[in-house]
Amino acid sequence: MTARILAVDDEKDMTRLLKRTLESEIDCTVSMAFSGEMALNVLEKDAWDLVICDIRMPGMDGFELLEQIRQRHPDLTVVMLTAFGNIDSAVTAIKSGAYDFIAKPFEQDEIIFKIGKALERSRLLLENKQLLKARDKDFSPLVGQSPAMEKVFQKIDLVASSDVTVLIIGESGTGKDLTARSIHRRSQRGKARFIPVNCPTIPEHILESELFGHKKGAFTSAYQDKTGLFQEADKGTIFLDEIGDIGLSIQTKLLRVIQEKEIKPLGDNRVRNVDVRIIASTNQDLQAKIAAKEFREDLFYRLSVITIELPPLRDRIEDIPLLAEHLVVKNCKKLNRPLKTISGGVMDLLVKHSWKGNVRELENVLVQGILYAGDDEIRRSDIPVSETGPDDCRDTCLNAHIMDLPYKQAKENMLTRFNHEYVGALLSMTHGNITQAARNCGLDRQALQQVMKRFGISPDDFR
């Protein structure tokens, strides 16, 4: 999507130079405002990704405009322009909430680089907001009536009203995130924030700062204070997904949080009290990691005050028809498709399949079925599952009817299926994170987005 930038400077030649420079190098449109008052009026009329603002302007100067933007549009990224060598103004701008500053006269390479980084921040903030909104809006409860799931529901009821730490264990795709959300929503903290942290996707040297925050100057790129996720989750719940992947140094700090209810940001001499409920999950054998000296035994016992074990889908096959119907209704709505039914033949295949990826794999298969179904029923030819088993189902499915199609249609059909399966798998592994998925497959983010747009693939389907 083309970025929208507002350039604010009383020097009209400067705003025109910014417009020419940026629009020739970055996928963006640059609008111009020649005073702080004019900029505020423009900002109220539309959505913007970035504001570039000069500090010295008659009337409302850049600092006043920045303060107004922070009050009215707190998530909007602002980059300040300052005269060359005026470091004091640049420092003041950063302390006041600007993302970065650029000295005038600017070098083209420098401004392209810095504006690119600022736009990336804006995109990440927007994606995060949309993710949180979608999760709240499309929250799906755990589904099942089997004896195994009844035990899970009983455990959730047992712990929801208390504040004990909970460890959720189970294979990938069994619903650990939904279980954590169910506990949070039923607890006395249900109206406060629920903050999920996908531990494996955050490099260890960054994870500590993300969890506990840092002070300005704590490390090379720490240009300003950062509030950690434990402080963000105060009065609410933090969900540490796949906690078995974190390093021993962070394990030690987590133990302190659980024991003392306090955190210490990087570079800070003071500790901060936090009132947070901790729910953790793992698909690993933590006892084996303890034996291998890779996980602290004392942390394990602090986390597992109550343990909830989620059964794999193969151990509750009686839930598959109910789950499948629920997932079809949910995803038809999300994909804006007419409601589909599942044919008897497809349901028979679903019940017989081994489902190594559990509920997540089942949902991905049904999403493809919804997209490929030619009418209001999902048939065997619409899903990548066959009676021959999971290892060779893809070839069987593709070849079942491909020879009946004209060449161009067959080619497009196979391309569509390939991209849905390949990109779908990437997004499943990253829980819908496009940036991470692009990095994993060697594409840049824009290229992957173009593939997703062409083949109608939405990251929301994999979150």
What's the CATH number where 44 sits? 3.40.50.2300
Question: Which of 135, 167, 182 represents a domain boundary (last residue)?
Answer: 135
Q: Are residues 226 and 188 in the same domain?
A: yes
pLDDT value for 302: 94
Residue range 90-114, pLDDT digits in tens: 788 888 888 888 888 888 888 999 9
Q: Quick one: 67 and 119 in the same domain?
A: yes
pLDDT greater than 90 at residue 74: no
Q: What is the CATH number of the domain that holds 418?
A: 1.10.8.60
Asked if residue 266 and residue 373 are part of one domain, the reply reads no
Residue that finishes a domain, picked among 135, 158, 175: 135
Beta-carbon contacts of 97 under 8 Å, excluding residues fewer than 6 positions away, are 66, 70, 78
> Given pLDDT bands bounded at 50, 70 and 90, which one contains residue 69?
very high
Is the Cβ–Cβ distance between 304 and 262 less than 8 Å? Answer: no
Q: What is d(CA 413, CA 417) in angstroms, rounded to the nearest whole number? A: 6
Contact 207, 214 (CB under 8 A): no
Transcribe 143-201 into DSSP letters. Answer: ---SHHHHHHHHHHHHHHTS---EEEE--TTS-HHHHHHHHHHHSTTTTS-EEEEEGGG
Q: Are residues 158 and 127 in the same domain?
A: no
Query: At 178, which CATH number?
Result: 3.40.50.300
Same domain, 149 and 127: no
Please enumerate in sequence order all residues whose Cβ is within 8 A of that of 238, keeping only pairs 6 or more positions apart, or say none. Answer: 195, 197, 229, 230, 276, 277, 278, 279
Both 107 and 147 in a single domain? no
Judgement on whether residues 243 and 227 belong to the same structural domain of the protein: yes
* φ and ψ of 115, to 5 deg: -70, -35
Residue-number span of the structural domain to which 381 is assigned: 314-462
Same domain, 320 and 213: no
Last residue of a domain, one of 261, 294, 311: 311
For the cut 50, the answer to whether the pLDDT of residue 393 exceeds it is no
CA distance 453 to 419: 11
> Mean pLDDT for the chain?
85
**What is residue 311's predicted lDDT score, i.e. its pLDDT?**
95
Q: How many CB atoms are located within 10 Å of the residue 84 CB?
A: 9
Is the domain of 394 the same as that of 360?
yes
Q: Are 183 and 156 in contact (CB under 8 A)?
A: yes
Is there a single domain that holds both residue 189 and residue 328? Answer: no
Parallel, antiparallel, or unpaired: how do β-strands 100-104 and 306-309 relate?
Answer: unpaired
Number of domains in the chain: 3
Give the residue-averaged pLDDT of 399-412.
Answer: 57
Mode of pairing for the β-strands spanning 262-263 and 272-273: antiparallel
Tokens of 370: 């919804």
Q: pLDDT tens digits for 207-259?
A: 888 898 888 877 777 778 888 899 999 999 999 999 999 999 899 999 989 99
Residues 321 and 429 placed together within one structural domain of the fold: yes
